[in-house]
Each structure stands twice: as structure tokens, then as C-alpha cells.
Amino acid sequence: MRFIRQSLIGLVLAAVTLGLLGFAVHLVNSAVQERIARDTSAPPARERVFAVGVRRAEPGTETPVLETFGEVESRRRLELRAAESGRIIELADGFEDGGVVKAGQVLVRIDPADAEAALDRAKADLLDAEAEVRDAERGLALSLDEQAAAQDQSNLQQRAYERQLDLAERGVGTAAAVEAAELAAAAARQAVLSRRQAVTTAEARIDQAKTRLARAIIAQGEAQRALDDTTLIAPFDGTLSETDVVAGRLASANEKLAVLIDADALEVAFRVSTAQYARLLGADGQVMAAPVIATLDVSGVDLSARGVINRSSAGSGEMQTGRLIFARLEAARGFKPGDFVTVTVQEPPLENVVRLPASAVDASDRVLVLGEDNRLEALDVQVMHREGDDVLVRSPDLAGRDVVEARSPLLGPGISVRPLRPEAAVMPTEPAMLELSEERRARLIAFVEGNQRMPAEAKARVLAQLAEARVPARMVERIESRMGG
């Protein structure tokens, strides 16, 4: 019993102790909550400072570069058509799509039998007309002789009549003799009139014969041209395209046989906006002869050709915007009509402008610059040109100021910033080079050697680079992208 009593006392004491501890914890917690409720003062706020990249604005002269896309065309493109109908009996050896021909080379010959027969008939008609002219001239000569003889007879009859009148006045002749002489003189004059009519008829016959001769000459010329048109001759050096004819088939008049393209007279046609076109106009209102570079990406190798703008299209084009400009290419080796190329045009230089990232200018043409205590200020600028990720701006108050390179919604006038300036000098980085395994190198060389579109010079240059121990990584990446690897 004593043990049970002591155990109960110990339990009661432990319970009282735990209760007191819980009460003490409650008192402490209540005191803390009351203190927190009474203390409402917030900690002092600190201004947030943003780190921004800045660039020093240094005005200078910049040459803007306009980049667009265009299509290579040939300045001389001729449709070869059959001038006469007939059966094709001869074709040139290179008369096929892609065939190279020379100026003066016979391309197509149509059966000339009908044209030769027509020419022979025209020649025969010409001979008849010439004989008719000669006969008419001889007839005129005879008519003139007959007219002269009739005139002589008329003169004799007239003198005989005058003699009879003289005799009658002297009383020797008779009235009947005078009348007979007068009638004979009148008949002689009538004969002269008849001969004059014959001469007029002979002259008219000569005119008709000459007209017939002229028609015969014209007919012979037409027949000769028709015979010449049975032979189609290349007017200039070029390459054939769209050939659709074989020897032995019938060709109708004006049928399209092929297209002859001068591959050495290439130009690039590209479209620009109206604003860009206005910047390319000279003082005379005509497009300037600005230099251009056309670039064609072929299997990892950029083919480029230089040229000069020489004209612009007369109209904007139906359902088109902007202006179409043409530039003549020089030494465009590897280019073909129809190639889609990238065109870069050097615009006239701009003076007193600053090149900035496009992200530095907002929609209102304003930039943020550093002011006193590194606080931002807004400054209005004039955007002169946009070029890729850069813009060329002009402002009288921008020189020497630090401009924020990239704007964000958190930045604005009055914001305190910590400027991050680029290093004073940046070491030029060398292009990344790769060391290829033998298997990878052989696969790249096989692909380049099997590419038929790559020009021989470009192929030799790429193969020479692939043969070296270290190969440019960019070139390898572009070749493998076309391999599908």
C-alpha cells in the first residue's frame, strides 16, 4: 500500500509540473504576440538598382547595308520559233536542254523543198517580167519611128496642099485639086494622131511591165527569205533550255522550239520597299549605280558575285508593293538564271550618326541615357536606318552619352542603374576548328565530290580545306546539314 501511495503522489506532482510548464509557455506566447501586435513600424525600404549594359554614343560616318532577296535572270533570253512550217530534217549536235551553242551555228533545219520550188517559180516569173520589159521597150521604139514617119508624111501633104493653094491663087490649079490636097493633109494629120496614141500605149505597156518586174523582184525576195527561214541560226552564244523537238517531226509556223539564254549576261532582280527605294535615288531622280553583292549558298560554300544597280522597273507590278530593281552582275561564275540569292546593297554613307542595338530604341524613337548619379534619362532620336539587329540614329544631344543597350519594362526615366560597360579592347577570336576522324573526313569528301551543282573552283577549295588536319567547324556544320547528318 505504501508503494502505491508514493506512486500516486509522484504522478500528481508530475502532472502539476507539466501543467505549470504549459501555463508558462502560454504566458510567454501571449506576451510575444501582444508585443508584435503593438510594434507596427516597417523596416526602412531601399531603392532597387538595376544592372544595365551601356554603350558610349560616338557619332561618325556609317555606310548602311540593305539586305534583301532576289532572283538571277538573264538580260538576253530569246525564244527560238519556227518561221516556216515543215518537217525537221536536221538538228545541231548540242540541241538539248543545257546544250551550249555558238553564234552563227545552225540549230534547226526544216525541209526546204517547198521553199526552193517557190523560189524557182519566183525566179521564172522574174525572167518573164524582164522579157516583158524588153519587149515593151522595143515596141515603144517602133511606135516612135512610126510616129516620125507619119509626121513626115503629114508635112509632105501639108506642103502639097499649100502648093495647090498657090496654084489656085495664080489661076493655074483647080478647086478639085485643092480639096483633094486638103483631104490628104487632114488624113496625114489623123495618121500622126494615131501614131501618137500608139506611142502612149507603148509607154503604158512599159510602165506595166516595170511594175510587174518590181512585183517579181519582191516575190523572189520573199521566196528567198522563206528559204532562209527554213534554217534556224543561233544569233548569240548561249545555253539552250526548254527544248521540245526531235528530227523528223512536223513543225508548225511560229512554234516554240527552244529558249536560248545568254549565261554570261546575268543580272539580279530584287524588290525593296518604297522607303528603301527613296534612299537609293540620286539628285536626278534616277536610281543610283550602287554596288551590290549577290550570294548563293551551295552545299556549305557561298558563291558570290559583285554587280552594280543599272535600272529600276517602270511600274510597281500588279498586286505588288515597293519597287523592283535590277543590278548587272560581273563574273557571276556558278550562277544560273532562276537562282534565289541574297542581295546586299551598299547605300549612300550617312554622316553624324550613331550605331546602336535595335533594342535600345523604343516605338517612340527614344533611348535611355545615363544622367547624374547614374539615373536614367529619356532622349529623343531620329532613326535614319535599320540594319538587322542595329539601328543608325541621329541626335544633337547624343554625342558622348552612355546609352542603355537593351530596354525593359522595368527601366524608365529616373531609375537608378549600375552601368556595365564593355571592355576597352576585345581580342579577335579565331574561327573554331575541328579535328576530323578519318571516317568522318572520307564521308564529307565523298559528298563534296558527288555534288554536281558545285562549281569546279569551289569544289577544289573545299576539298583542299578538308584535306588539312584542322577543318573550319562552320564549313563542316553546313556540309553535314545538307547531308542530313
Domain boundaries, the chain: 76-111+231-260, 114-229, 265-346, 350-420, 433-483
Structure confidence by residue, pLDDT tens digits, 114-127: 888 989 999 999 99
Q: Is the dihedral of CA 352, 354, 358, 363 positive or negative?
A: negative
Burial class (CB in 10 A: 0-12, 13-18, 19+), 203: middle
pLDDT at 158 over 60: yes
pLDDT for the residue numbered 270: 92
Is the CATH number of domain 265-346 3.40.50?
no
Do 323 and 280 contact (CB within 8 A), yes or no?
no
Confidence of residue 463 (pLDDT cuts 50, 70, 90): confident
Cβ neighbour number for residue 385 with a 10 Å cutoff: 20
> What mean pLDDT do residues 378-390 have?
85
> What mean pLDDT do residues 272-284 have?
85
The better pLDDT of the pair 27, 108 is held by 108
pLDDT for the residue numbered 20: 77
CATH architecture of 350-420: Beta Barrel (2.40)
Sorted by sequence, the CB contacts under 8 Å of residue 271 that are 6+ apart come out as 68, 70, 320, 322, 323, 324, 325
> What mean pLDDT do residues 275-304 have?
82
> What mean pLDDT do residues 297-301 have?
66
- Among 62-66, 433-437, 480-484, the range of highest mean pLDDT: 62-66
pLDDT for the residue numbered 326: 92
Do 71 and 341 contact (CB within 8 A), yes or no?
yes
Do 315 and 299 contact (CB within 8 A), yes or no?
no
Do 109 and 228 contact (CB within 8 A), yes or no?
no
The better pLDDT of the pair 482, 196 is held by 196
Confidence of residue 409 (pLDDT cuts 50, 70, 90): confident
Cβ neighbour number for residue 353 with a 10 Å cutoff: 23
pLDDT at 425 over 50: no
Do 188 and 157 contact (CB within 8 A), yes or no?
yes
User: Which stretch of 26-30, 35-39, 87-91 has the lowest confidence by average pLDDT?
Assistant: 35-39
Contacts 24+ apart (CB under 8 A), 335-338: 335/72, 335/266, 335/294, 335/296, 335/303, 335/305, 336/72, 336/263, 337/72, 337/73, 337/74, 337/77, 337/261, 337/263, 337/266, 338/71, 338/72, 338/73
pLDDT at 328 over 80: yes
> What mean pLDDT do residues 257-261 have?
88
Task: Give the cell for residue 286.
Answer: 534616277
As a whole number of angstroms, the distance between CA 464 and CA 452 comes to 18
Cβ neighbour number for residue 235 with a 10 Å cutoff: 13
> What mean pLDDT do residues 218-222 have?
91
Structure confidence by residue, pLDDT tens digits, 350-359: 888 888 888 8
pLDDT at 218 over 90: yes
CATH (residue range 76-111+231-260): 2.40.50.100
pTM of the model: 0.56
Confidence of residue 427 (pLDDT cuts 50, 70, 90): very low
pLDDT at 183 over 80: yes
User: Which stretch of 206-220, 254-268, 438-452 has the lowest confidence by average pLDDT?
Assistant: 438-452
> What mean pLDDT do residues 215-232 have?
90
Confidence of residue 269 (pLDDT cuts 50, 70, 90): very high
pLDDT at 220 over 80: yes
Average pLDDT, the chain: 83
Q: Is the dihedral of CA 89, 93, 99, 104 positive or negative?
A: negative
Confidence of residue 246 (pLDDT cuts 50, 70, 90): confident
Sorted by sequence, the CB contacts under 8 Å of residue 357 that are 6+ apart come out as 55, 389, 390, 391, 405, 406
